[in-house]
Amino acid sequence: MQIQLSTAPLNSLETGALAVIVPQREPRLSGPLAELDRATNGRIGELVKAGEISGRFAEMTLLHQPPGLAAGRLLIVGGGMRDCGPYEMRRLAGAAARHLAAKGVRQMVWAVPAGAAPAAALIAASIEGVIAGQFETARYKQEPAPARRLEHLTLHSASTGPEAEAAIARGEAIGEAINLARELANEPGNRMTPRLLAECARQMAESAGLECDVIDENRARELKMEAFLAVAQGSAEPPRMIVLRYRGAGARPGAPVLGLVGKGITFDTGGISIKPADGMEKMKYDMSGGAGMIAVMRALARLRPALEVIAVIPAAENMPGGRAQKPGDVQIAMSGKSIEVLNTDAEGRMVLADGLTYARQLGATHLLDAATLTGAVAVALGTVNAGVFANDDAFYADFESARARAGEKMWRLPLDEEYADQIQGTVGDLLNTGGRWGGAITAAEFLHAFAETTPWIHLDIAGLAWLDEGKPWMPKGPSGVGVATLVELALLWAERQAGAAGMI
């Protein structure tokens, strides 16, 4: 898709469709909308008065051949009650693009309103939304419907210059990374085994210019990654610990090294503690955290921030079988801590335990993991917010700024020794489940025991990794949640380093 910026008057833009946001609260018509209303001889005002345009979130009103405008169509997009920040902007731009593309429109001008956030953040979010909205899920249909996609996107914004140009590059890299994460996550278990995921990571690394190391089961054994291997041992598919490394030019010695760890369970049957059949097919998405980390690394390779980032993705298939681990088994993790396996379906935390230990060993000074870890987080926060845990307030503050800039919803949940008490072992150090109450938190406390005192953030994305129902801005299927926030965090750190270097 071609993307450009324009500051020309809205009525002068020749394009397939000009899309503008109308708020739900009064006054509906101000700024550029008032301008368009005048240009169209009061058309928009009439529709507002008649109640046909209410401004309800993602309401679409399409006018053909609007008088007074050079555009072929005018799409009026309801903006809802709230000020539009990056979160809303991503959705509205995605919904508009999908609405138009479905009708065969190929070019859109998207009017970025002066809003609740800096123009650059709104520009980037708009692009991310449009790119993410064009994602195709029907990969295996013999006769796929003809692709109807937007080919040209023009962002109309009062702000131009280097910041806006950088926002375009960022939005494009993040939008495409979100879709890469979704492509990987969307592959069925038989076509995205640990070995195939490692192959995808290796190919991506080669073309993007990243370092890649794939640890097979033999090396994993030498490295004593027993928690990781234990999860994989029931499967005929061998596991892979995937390591990607980005070394940004200009990263100063002694600067923080970000260690990303993504859960890469390519299919989670639950193992011997097997899951019910109903909905089990969704467990092909259990590598969404790992897919997200691969995608983040590709975005960083494109955007080249001055910073070092390591991604570790423990990839395994969790299966029952004659060699599978059993409830009651004890595994010694790479860090030396022993784990009593009460439930083989609590496998994510086991593979992450060794992933976190390994990332620390490779030199990560800060750890950030993402995982479809617990059903309990979805009970607590639903499908609206991802759960965030942090053992370090300064690191969390940076993460929170990045999250706000990226426009994703996440909510911090507590860590506390009293929750950790629930997973103290009887014959070993740790239990892999903490009982019924506070399941997302006891899972986080389990990981905490492996992050130890290294500043660490844990994202539980189980409620948001995929959509069961399509939305106007996104088809059902994998969502790519977390990718935007993580890329923004890396960019934020690199900017800060550059600032600090400038002060010397």
> Which chain residues interact with ligand BES by CB under 6 A?
268, 286, 343, 345-348, 372-376, 433, 439, 462
Residue 291 tokens, joined: 């897919």
Q: Could you tell me whether strands 477-478 and 466-467 are parallel, antiparallel, or unpaired per DSSP bridges?
A: antiparallel
Concerning whether 275 is annotated as a catalytic residue, the answer is yes
Query: Pick from 176, 226, 286, 317: which binds Zn ion (CB under 5 A)?
Result: 286
- Rounded to an integer, what distance in angstroms lies between the CA atom of residue 115 and that of residue 133? 22
Please tell me whether residue 37 binds Mn ion under the rule CB under 5 A. no
Cα pseudo-dihedral 15, 21, 27, 31, rounded to 10 = -50
Between 174 and 351, whose beta carbon lies closer to ligand BES?
351
Cβ 281 to Zn ion shortest distance, Å: 14
Per partner kind, with CB cut-offs from 5 to 8 A, the member of Mn ion, ligand BES, Zn ion, none near residue 376 is: ligand BES
CA 254 distance to own-chain centroid: 29
Please tell me whether residue 475 binds Zn ion under the rule CB under 5 A. no
Between 185 and 214, whose beta carbon lies closer to ligand BES?
185
Mark the segment that binds Zn ion (CB under 5 A) among 14-22, 119-127, 344-352, 469-477.
344-352
| Residue 263-292 contact track with Mn ion, rule CB under 5 A, x = bound | -----x------------------------
Concerning whether 170 is annotated as a catalytic residue, the answer is no
Q: Which of 349, 360, 403, 405 is catalytic?
A: 349
Could you write out the three-class secondary structure of 393-410? HHHHHHHHHHHHHHCCCE
Q: Which of 38, 149, 202, 275 is catalytic?
A: 275
Residue 57 contacts residue 79 (beta carbons within 8 Å): yes
Across 38-182, the runs of DSSP E, i.e. the strands, are 60-64, 73-78, 107-111, 152-156
CA 37 to each of CA 29, 52, 60, 157: distance values in angstroms, whole numbers, following the listed order:
8, 15, 17, 18
Between 55 and 439, whose beta carbon lies closer to ligand BES?
439
Between 34 and 330, whose beta carbon lies closer to ligand BES?
330
- Rounded to an integer, what distance in angstroms lies between the CA atom of residue 104 and that of residue 102? 5
| Residue 344-373 contact track with Mn ion, rule CB under 5 A, x = bound | -x-x--------------------------
Neighbours of 81 (CB within 10 A): 11
Per partner kind, with CB cut-offs from 5 to 8 A, the member of ligand BES, Mn ion, Zn ion, none near residue 433 is: ligand BES
Per partner kind, with CB cut-offs from 5 to 8 A, the member of Mn ion, Zn ion, ligand BES, none near residue 462 is: ligand BES
- What's phi and psi for 313, nearest 5 deg? -125, 100
Please tell me whether residue 348 binds Zn ion under the rule CB under 5 A. yes
**Residues with catalytic function:** 275, 349
